[in-house]
Amino acid sequence: MLLIGLVFYSFVERERKISAYGVLFYDLGKKCVDECSSEKRLELLKKAVFHNPFLSKAHFLIGDIYSNQNNDEEAIKYYLKTVENDRFHFLANLRLGQYYFDNGDDRNALKYSFLGRSSSPQHPEINFLIGNIYEFVGDYRAAITYFSESYREKKTDYLLFKIGKTYHILELEEDARRKLLDLDEMGSEDFANKLREFIKNN
């Protein structure tokens, strides 16, 4: 029994040290943003996930480095690794949702957007993305819900335009005109004129 206990303790201690190496390399890779090249940061962060494959924040940073290099294939691989280890990681899910939306995969776009929204339901960017996906698939009532949620947290003239445009598509003309008045009151002449043109021609 003593021998089994010693073997088990030795295994646990070894795993603890390996995990600690992962955190050490992650910290080095995270801190050397200004001093290190992208290649050096990738080297450090990949050592981090080698020693600790469950270190989701390291996977995420690797994904961001590849994204900044316009290497979508590698970026998506590491964002997926991130959510594999941290299902509701907000930024990784946002990145995945946007990627799949940009590539016409509305099913996966919604899947990852809603996973991201689970951890931050009021975040304007995630609600705006979900609104855009629903607009893309023609579910305008759902789109207006999420555009409105986004506008509640981040009031922009572009969102007002999108909301007014969607109301018009839904033939809710009084609501559309109300958004047009809101744009006028905001002093957004450009988007107010765009909405007037859209209402007039559609």
Contacts of 137 (CB under 8 A, 6+ apart): 106
Type and span of the H or E element at 173 = helix 173-186
Question: Under CATH, to which class is 1-86 assigned?
Answer: mainly alpha
Per-residue pLDDT tens for 9-48?
333 344 444 467 677 777 777 787 667 888 999 998 898 8
Residue 10: what pLDDT? 38
Most distant CA pair in the chain, distance: 85
Q: Is the CA virtual torsion 105, 106, 111, 114 positive or negative?
A: positive
pLDDT above 90: percentage of residues in the chain: 76
pTM of the predicted structure, to 2 decimals: 0.86
Q: Which two tokens stand for residue 35?
A: 């001093």
For 32, phi then psi, to 5°, come to -95, 35
Residue 19: what pLDDT? 60
The ranges assigned to domains in the chain are: 1-86
Per-residue pLDDT tens for 120-142?
999 999 999 999 999 999 999 99
Assess contact for 90 and 118: CB atoms under 8 A: no
Mean pLDDT, rounded, of the chain? 89
Assess contact for 34 and 50: CB atoms under 8 A: no
Residue 31: what pLDDT? 80
Residue 14: what pLDDT? 43
Residue 170 three-state SS: coil
